[in-house]
A and B are shown apart, each in its own frame.
Chain A
Amino acid sequence: MVAQNIFFGIIAFVMVVAALRVVTTKNIVHAALYLVIVLAGVAAQFILTGAEFVGVTQILVYIGAVVVLFLFGIMLTRARIGREVEVDNEKRWLAGLVALVLFAVMSFALVDAFEDSRIESVSGGTPQLTSEVSDAIFKDYLIPFEAASFLLLAALIGAIVVARRE
């Protein structure tokens, strides 16, 4: 348990720093690379909680596909590679204020609601097996699964329609 908490702390710290860099760096390619760190950290947290299938999917889909998409996006929009002067708008302090207030409210609510409950307290610490996840997807949540596949199809067609040249 202690080892898990230590690893959690290390990963979380790296993630938060990287996330802050994602939203503050002036270099757009660096932002995408910092995003990779955050996404990998999230995958690591998944594995810490025993959700290894989701963790692997996270790496495959996000780091393998989404980040690549972002890099293509950066390339196609010919954003300057390297530092840009004006990547933030002048209302940034207001955005920071909103984010801080939001964080204060959320963390207060969370501490208030869950206090020191432990993840193991209900489930007994047994991780959910991947087979259980697949059972749930293909039994109880089959319809949302189909809906998601339909959504992906629609997004595929939509993206082509939006982005193609007339």
Chain B
Amino acid sequence: MWLNQFLILGALLFCIGVYGVLARRNGVMVLMSIELILNSVNINLVAFGAFNGTPVGQVFALFVIAVAAAEVGVGLAIVLLIYRNRTSIDLDAADLLKG
């Protein structure tokens, strides 16, 4: 197996995730896209770990999974809060930063 087949798969997932983050209006869907991005990073970590013959890649993949779990928890809480305050999770409507 080539290293690059994993890395490019990771890159592809990452870019699909970026597209989702940028294009989706629904808060929950944006969070799903973020999961795609995090998973693409994990693929890279594990592939590099196998390539270099070190367990460190897997260690950090595990840390990323832990962080991702925390991220989903807090992220969904925020989406819920937005929903409660605005009865909508349309991110286009949440433009309080407008200049």
Contacts and interface: CB of A to CB of B under 8 A. Distances in A.
Whether chain A touches chain B in the assembled complex (some CB pair under 8 Å): yes
Interface of A: 1, 4-5, 8, 12, 15-16, 19-20, 22-23, 28, 31-32, 35, 38-39, 42, 45-46, 48-51, 53-54, 57-58, 61-62, 65-66, 69-70, 72-74, 76-79, 84, 86-89, 91-92, 94-96, 98-100, 102-103, 106-107, 110-111, 114-124, 126-129, 132-133, 135-137, 140-141, 144-145, 148, 151-152, 154-156, 158-160, 162-163, 165
A102 to B, nearest CB: 5
Given A53-B58, A114-B7, A123-B53, A99 B1 contact: no
A40 to B, nearest CB: 11
Contact of B81 (A23, A51, A163): A163
Given A51-B61, A62-B65, A128-B54, 8 more contacts: A22-B20, A49-B1, A51-B57, A95-B23, A119-B2, A132-B55, A141-B56, A155-B73
